[in-house]
Homo-oligomer: A and B are copies of this chain.
Amino acid sequence: MCNHHDWLGSDRPARRGFVLTEALKPLCLALILLAGIAYSCASAQVTRQPDFVNSLMPQPAHLNSSAGRLRIGPALSVVTDHYHDDRLNSRIVLALDHLAQDTGVHLPFHQATTDPAETSLVISVLGPGQKIQSVDEDEAYSLQITSQGAHLRAATDVGAIRGLETLLQLVEHDDSGYLLPEVSIDDTPRFKWRGLMMDCSRHFEPVDVIKRTLDAMAAVKMNVFHWHLTDDQGFRIESRTFPRLTLMGSDGLFYTQEQARDIVRYAWDRGIRVVPEFDMPGHTTSWMVGYPHLASAPGPFSIERHFGIFNPVMDPTRESTYVFLDKFLAEMATIFPDHYMHIGGDENNGAEWKQNPRIQNFMREHKLKDTAALQRYFNQRLVAILARHGKLMIGWDEILTPGLPKSIVVESWRGSDSLVAGARQGYNGVLSAGYYLGHMDSAEAYYRVDPLPPDADIPPEVAGRVLGGEACIWGEYVDAHDIDSRVWPITAAIAERFWSPQTTTDTNDMYRRLSVESLRLERLHLTHLTQEDESLRALAGTEEIAPLRTLAGILEPVIFNIRGPWSEKHGVTQQDPQNHLIDALPPDPESRHLFGQAVQTYLQNPRARLEQKTMLTTTFRSWVDIEPQLMLMISASPRLAEAKPRALELAELGSLGLEAISYLSTNTAPPVGWKTQKLAVLDKAAQPEALVRFTVLKPLHDLVDAVQ
């Protein structure tokens, strides 16, 4: 098959075991970049690889493979030979459903006490996972596949659940059907805490979004769903003790207790913990709409519609605040069984504490020298309340202050320095800095961030306190419609960082496997691949979006630090629709990686690389040629008007590319001033505009630079 990361010059065999006919390659890239689509191409001679093509994501700790194959057919059946329980059974049934969807073969499953048949997939589990899954859940498994059968072994059903995902990822095929490669895998995660944080306050995410997110997390072996349930912009969990929290603080958009319990159960079925976050004492405007006496300033309060850091903060000097929190957290403890509760604790600016004479007085009386000290006091009270309800505290960096017990976990949005500093003091920590999906970084950039950087000089006992990390999707600029494309497949690369050995760092191979995983995630009903076309159709008001797709194919959203200030300047609120071009575009589209590779290959020998020259020329010409159609599409849809400057630049970039190729391939010198002028074009194209940016500027820069 036309595997991107192979036909652009790598010698690695394509994932399905085919190699490419050279003649078909140019067509591939040209059409990808021309129409935003890619023609599939493959070699005429099918060459089976002796070893299987490893597309596992995350990569396992240890893997050996050999040439044998186990054919998937009706002769194969699945048995649990020792322990089984409802969770394990339901996961096996689901895995077999997925296998049937992929292969058309429905394997029978039964619980055996006698010896299993020869050609069976035997699942041997010693016992159940923890009733309340903890950080120390045993997730290890081993998987042996021979041409005679397969054996999945694990100490717990959670380990077996991880192994089932590996098994599904191993399915291959040849001309006569589907099969499993002969492998021996011993696998266990590098980090214990492999999380995804989802902010459901700033934009509400329906239950279905969360369930399919949990499906995707399970597919890449993540184990913590960190659920950011409250913030200034909305209180999203039903409290029966304090009904005004959602009655007045949610716009009616919240999870009922039944829904939350259902999600906890759904997650547990997949070996995923749910850690709820009730962010406090700051980020609490939505609490105060219904309960203004919690606040440090007089009300009334209304739901915050804008994004940023705001003054409302709980009053830590009143006993009534703790009475309230005690009752509230007691109620939440009946919904969320996890040992941890996340209390946020971030971004309290202390303004209202400084302005309130009563609070200032309290601080003096209690010898609390500043607002950080007052927040420490608040956190100490919270730790005690949590303990009364059997819970441990986790919070953002700010909670890490002297006097808090070593049982807390610090989640670092500041970075690994902060994380390691905490670990040196004896605190367990989880890294989220570097994994903020809203930053619109590339999968490669996230993939390079390691909770325990290999070059850091950290003693083992300190390293052991770094529990893992969490990808974070904050809710300012995502809604139910586009969240999948912001989170997936990119989070699969982060999940691999958390699970696989530190030495698993080959970026090209990661991208190859990521594109395989992306399709698997789509089969789990994630909408990351369908959302772009759907959004472009809505923007253009027509089904015929090909020219727009060409433009969109080499654009991606601007980084958070540009969208944030822009939104502030334009008064964007929670209630504004997410229906702009930026919202249609996925971060880190394939064009970024592919176009760069094509240009690099070409530049290695511009006068010999005819194939790349054809590809690039066809691509650049298409950018020039579609301009009239694109302009008409834009003029026909007011919502596309903002894209006009980018559409004009597309043609300019196409001309630039054609000229550069022409000079390079003929070894001709350009006129004086050409390079300066073209670099100016690139500089202009690099400016923020319409909240979208080109993915191809760096390679174009290289092209222009190469012209002598």
Contacts and interface: CB of A to CB of B under 8 A. Distances in A.
Contacts of A28: 544
A619 to B, nearest CB: 15
* Interface bracket on A: 35 or more
Given A37-B37, A544-B37, A638-B178, A577 B538 contact: no
A126 interface: no
A545 B31 CA distance: 12
Q: Which of A106, A175, A208, A541 has the most CB of B within 10 A?
A: A541
A40 B106 contact: no
Contacts of A1: 540-542, 544, 632-633, 636
A38 B544 contact: yes
A39 B628 contact: no
A577 to B, nearest CB: 5
A39 B629 contact: yes
Contact of A629 (B41, B104, B635): B41
A549 B527 CA distance: 19
Contacts of A38: 543-544, 546
Nearest to A527: B530
Q: Which of A173, A522, A577 has the most CB of B within 10 A?
A: A577
A673 B282 CA distance: 86
Given A100-B577, A638-B177, A39 B547 contact: yes
Contacts of A46: 635
A546 B579 contact: no
Given A530-B533, A542-B519, A544-B2, A42 B100 contact: no
Given A41-B629, A101-B577, A533-B530, A546 B635 contact: no
A43 interface: yes
A177 to B, nearest CB: 5
Interface in A661-694: none
Given A16-B541, A533-B533, A40 B577 contact: no
Interface in A623-637: 628-629, 632-633, 635-637
Interface in A318-372: none
Nearest to A639: B104
B636 A18 contact: yes
B543 A523 contact: no
Interface in A585-628: 628
A632 B537 contact: no
A546 B39 contact: yes
A2 B545 CA distance: 10
A548 interface: yes
A178 to B, nearest CB: 6
A529 interface: yes
Contacts of A2: 542, 544
Closest 10 interchain pairs by CB?
Answer: A38-B544, A530-B530, A40-B544, A42-B632, A39-B546, A101-B577, A37-B546, A2-B544, A40-B633, A173-B638
Given A2-B544, A16-B636, A40-B632, 17 more contacts: A2-B542, A35-B546, A37-B546, A40-B629, A40-B633, A42-B635, A43-B632, A101-B538, A101-B577, A104-B579, A106-B575, A106-B576, A175-B638, A177-B638, A208-B208, A529-B534, A530-B534
